[in-house]
Amino acid sequence: MLKNIKYLILALVFTSCAVGPNYSPPELKSFHILQEKNLLSKNTQEHRWWKNFKDPILNALIIKAEKNNLDINTAYLNIKKSQLIYKIVKEDFEPNAALIIDPKRGKKSENVPSFGPGLTGNNLNLGLSVSWEVDLFGRINRLVEAKNAKYQADRFLYQDVLLSLKAQVASTYIQIRSLEDKIRITKKNIKIQEDFFNLTTKLKNAGSASKLDVIRANSNLLSTQAYLPSIYANKTALVQQLSVLLNTKAVELQKSIQSAKSFIPITKKENIIFTANLLRNRPDVRLKERELAAQTALIGVATTALYPSLSLSGFLGYNSISSSNLLSPESLLWNVGGSFFYSIFNRGKIKNSIKIEETKALMALNAYKKTVLSAIAEVNSNLDFYKSEKIKFTYLKKAYVLSEESVHLANLRYENGLSSFQEVLASQKQLFLSEESLSQSKTSSSLYYIKLHKALGLGWNTQKDKKEKVK
């Protein structure tokens, strides 16, 4: 008889099917609408793009952020949680077995007709109980499919957090260096204006300049000096922000990023090489695709409620009123059975539940499409900004050289009485603006370089790390 039950169970397993839609990744033409001029080559990308800045301090900050950042740690723990949920659901495929030890002592009611009414005695049970849900229509299979897709989605979420972290660390660091350069420029202009103020005072004492010229020179100097406190405050705020990303103290971070000279990290790379297929590997794109897969599987889970469900159960053990003969052959007890459940009166409720899951799947598909379109827009716009900033920098560099020469000539002319005070003041202001614009262009170029590589999804797969441990 047990042999016949075994064959019945095997037959049920192999004849079961999974209802609901079978998932296949959507093929979007959106990937092919990238600007053709941007598809420069099919060479493999370098994922460690921050190393192109040739800045060892930046490299060290990226490594430290990978190890210490709290968001990264939370994303990793989220992977572990999803993995455990996936393993728990997978175990539903297997029968559930439990060892039962159930000793009892009691008195039977005298008012209930039964054997030995009113007597007090023992009842001992010892055995193995087994229950199993037969996955006839794939409820468990679809649920496992959904949880597996969710687990994969959380891994891509981890990669997306890692990619964003590296871009944020690099951007914040470059903005700190940019403010340091702005401090250098401001101090340089303060020195120029101090020299001019001293010259104006000297000329006034000699009768060659008016008191108004001295007042204007001093006013110009004080206005420039007023810039410094806010620049220092902005730098402090960015250091604090970076310390949060690295999960470290701001004081220690400030010491580690100190440099003997001010500079803005820039990359020498002229061409950014990528292909349209590279966008398919963006963590956020793959995340949305996996979320769509999970939601599609949940349609199948809801659909199984329209079909019958079957559960099998059994018990093998011993039953006796005395422990002395509990394990004797005469005390052997077994039973095999099953339960069949088929919902009849709430079909409308079930069908509406299926429609809800189908609606969620359509929403997930829209989210996937939007992520793809946003990725393409990010790449195209940031690439254009990066290229235009390179051209802009070339012109600003020439303008700065001319502004320096203009200040020098204006000072000579004023000292020799050949030009007015206004001419000198205008040339000094133009030099300040010109050098500041040049510095800002360097910063913008580097920031667009970072944004472009983040848009391309480059930088998440450089860490043979925690994500490997959770496979």
Asked whether the predicted pLDDT for residue 445 surpasses 60, the reply is: yes
Q: How far apart are CA 435 and CA 466, in angstroms?
A: 45
Torsion of CA 50, 372, 279, 440, to 10 degrees: -30
Strands (E), 9-114: 96-107
pLDDT bracket for residue 322 (50, 70, 90):
confident
DSSP string, 418-461: SS-HHHHHHHHHHHHHHHHHHHHHHHHHHHHHHHHHHHTT-SST
Closest CA to 181 of 447, 471, 441, 450: 441
Is residue 31 pLDDT above 60, yes or no? no
Cα within 13 Å of Cα(80), Cβ side? 8
Q: Whole-angstrom Cα distance, residue 244 to residue 63?
A: 15
The model's pTM: 0.81
pLDDT at position 33 is 47
pLDDT (0 to 100) of residue 44: 44
Residue 121's pLDDT band, with cuts at 50, 70 and 90, is low
Tens digit of pLDDT for each residue in 56-96?
999 999 999 999 999 999 999 999 999 999 999 998 888 88
Per-residue confidence (pLDDT) for residue 157, from 0 to 100 = 95
Angle between helices 283-303 and 139-205 (to 10 degrees): 150
> Domains along the chain?
26-91+136-303+349-469 (1.20.1600.10)
